[in-house]
Every structure is written in structure tokens, then in C-alpha cells.
Amino acid sequence: MEENMERENIILKLEEKLESVTTKNDIAQVKAYFLGYDGVVTKMSMKMKEIPNEEKPRFGKLLNEIKNEVVARLDKITLEMEEKELNEKLEKDSIDITLPGRKIKRGSLHPMTRIEEEFEDLFVSMGYQVYTGPEIESDENCFQKLNIPKSHPARDAQDTFYLKDEFEKFLLRSQTSTAQARAMEENKEKGPIRIVCPGKVYRRDEDATHSHQFMQIEGLVIDEGVSMADLKGTLELFCKHILGEKTKVRFRPSFFPFTEPSVEVDVTCFKCGGSGCSLCKNTGWIEVLGAGMVHPNVLEMGGYDSKKYQGFAFGTGMDRFAMFKYNIPDIRTIYGNDIKFLEQFDRKDVD
């Protein structure tokens, strides 16, 4: 009887405590009051050792009922409180599904990425492989193996960034033509080669049409029976694909140490169509790349028999094509990271 009275007192006390509960912290305090180290139920359980053995099962059962009752009441009010908090949050953060959706701001490909991928896709479709070389090169690969010895005046025009004493050790490559030397050296079987090498090059130059860092793409074909006609056909296809089918191509004799014969390649002005304007200086033509047949000395230094194999090479600045295609007046804009400028190149036209 006494234990039952104590049980009723505990439950009444629990109900009294729960009436003032408003937060989870309050629930924790109530739990500690009854079930904590010095809690009411805990102290009650300590009486077990004082009870006769024959009464212990009954007392133990009663004690468990009290604990279960306290835990059940606390769990119930905790659940009710959590549901209330959730409902309040859902009501506060409710979404009106009738509202129009918000436009997700998306990025776009950089103009140089567009041009590079367009170049690569074209040449891969023609059977070329994309070859990448390091931007830090040796003087030997950048000049000597391309038939440009240390005393050659062509070096003066390059304005190269040397990383060590001049003409020694390493430098930032001034042209992607270094791919010629590396590709020929790496081709141990000395068989045919057909590659394009896009990448950054560096020269001490900077104005509206030049940058100390810019992008070039170099092409190299080596095989038996390769002629100037193959070079001409390749470059005409290339220029028409990039600049339009109405584009006309003109070849002018020129000089490059690593090709012989060498040519400068012009295309009809994309702005005036060849009639003459301020962009083409009223000539109707714009120079876009240099090319030529691979010099026998370059073939021999690459381990090829120049009497058996012939080849052609060409190189152009991808930045220039980007300026032509997207009507960009200043090359420095391309590398300025101006978000307003870059946002113009939405990717819708390539999706």
C-alpha cells in the first residue's frame, strides 16, 4: 500500500512538472529530476536492499512501472513538441508553388576554349592526334632542333623569357613548334606522324593585338610523298571551316628557319569580304598563319631520313581567330577575366 501511494505521488509530481514544460531543456530537467543520479525514481530504487526478499519481485515490478510511466510521458511530450516545431517551421517556410521559377544563372565556355575545341574537333576528324608538350622547354627543343642555332637572327625576333642565363638551361616556349622536335624524338619507329599541338606560348610583347602570353596551335605531318599541295588543301579546308565557306586563301612566300619552302597564309577579310576596309587596311586580306614544308635539317635532327620522308608544318595564333570570329578588338580583353565580357559567350549555340 505504501509503495502504491508513493507511485501515485510520483506520477502526480510528474504531471505537475510537465505542465510548466515549454522547451526541450525543460524536458531534460524533468528527466533528471526523476531519473537522474539523485532523481526521485533513482532514490526509490535504492530501497530495494532494505526490502525483504519475498517482497523484492513485487517492488521491482512496481519500480519498472514507474520508470516506464515517466519515460512514456516524457517521450510523448517530446514528440508533441517536435511535431509542433516542425509544423511551425513548415508554415513559416512554406513555398508558393504558383510562383514562377527562378532562372538559374549558368556559365559559358571561354572564347579560347571554344576555339581550341573547334580546332581539335576538325583536325581529329581528319585523322590527326592531339599532342601536348610542356610550356617550360629546353633551348635545344625550342630553337636548335628547329634549325635555329644560337647565333641565328630569328632568335632576336622571338623575345623569349629565359629562366636561366641566356641560351642555356630552360625557357618559356615561344612557339608550339617545339612539339615537332618532341614528337619526332618520341616516335622511336620513325614512322608517319600527324599531330596538332595546342597550348600557351610566351613572348615579351604586349599591345592591342599582342600579349606576353597567347595561344597557338601547331600542326605537323610527316610521311612519304607529302607535298606542298597537301599543305595547301589542308589549310584551305581549315580556314573555310573556321571562317566560312566563302573565305578565300592566299599563300605568299616567306621565311621560317624550320620550313623550306615557307609561306605566309592570308584569308579574305571577314568584315568586308575582300573589298577593303579599315580592318584589313584596304587590302582585302588578313594574315592568319605561317606554314611550309619541314626543313630537311629538322627531319634529320629528329631522326628521320629526309630523302625518304617529307612533311609539312603550320602554326597560328588561336587568339587571332577568336578575335576574328567574335569581333574582339583587343587581345588583352580575352585574358582580362572580365565577367561582363565572358558572359557574352553563352553556350546555347553549342548545346
Which tens digit of pLDDT belongs to each residue from 305-337? 999 999 999 999 888 888 878 888 777 888 888
Q: Of 8-12, 15-19, 80-84, 146-150, which one has max mean pLDDT?
A: 80-84
Q: What is the pTM of this model?
A: 0.65
Q: Of 142-146, 303-307, 336-340, which one has max mean pLDDT?
A: 303-307
pLDDT at residue 348, as a whole number: 47
pLDDT tens profile 33-62? 878 877 777 777 777 777 778 777 877 787
Neighbour-count burial of 266, counting CB atoms closer than 10 A to its CB (0-12 exposed, 13-18 middle, 19+ buried): buried
Vertex 318 angle, CA 193 and 225, to 5°: 25
Contacts of 70 (CB under 8 A, 6+ apart): 10, 14, 31, 34, 35, 41
CB 236, CB 329: distance < 8 Å: no
pLDDT at residue 297, as a whole number: 93
Give start and end residues of each alpha helix (H) in the chain: 2-19, 24-35, 40-45, 56-92, 111-125, 139-142, 154-158, 178-186, 228-243, 296-301, 318-326, 331-334, 339-342
Neighbour-count burial of 6, counting CB atoms closer than 10 A to its CB (0-12 exposed, 13-18 middle, 19+ buried): middle
Average pLDDT over residues 205-222: 78
Task: Give the CATH fold of the 111-345 domain.
Answer: BirA Bifunctional Protein; domain 2 (3.30.930)
pLDDT, averaged across the chain: 83
pLDDT at residue 264, as a whole number: 95
pLDDT tens profile 256-306? 889 999 999 999 887 787 788 877 788 889 888 999 999 999 999 999 999
| 110: confidence class by pLDDT, cuts 50, 70, 90 | confident
Residue 345 burial (CB count, 10 A): 18
Distance CA(117)–CA(101), nearest Å, equals: 33
> How big is the chain, counted in residues?
351
pLDDT at residue 222, as a whole number: 95
pLDDT at residue 5, as a whole number: 65
Distance CA(267)–CA(248), nearest Å, equals: 6
Share of the chain above pLDDT 70, in %: 91
pLDDT tens profile 89-101? 877 877 777 878 7
- Grid coordinates given for 28: 531534460
Helix (H) or strand (E) holding 294: strand 285-294
pLDDT at residue 351, as a whole number: 45
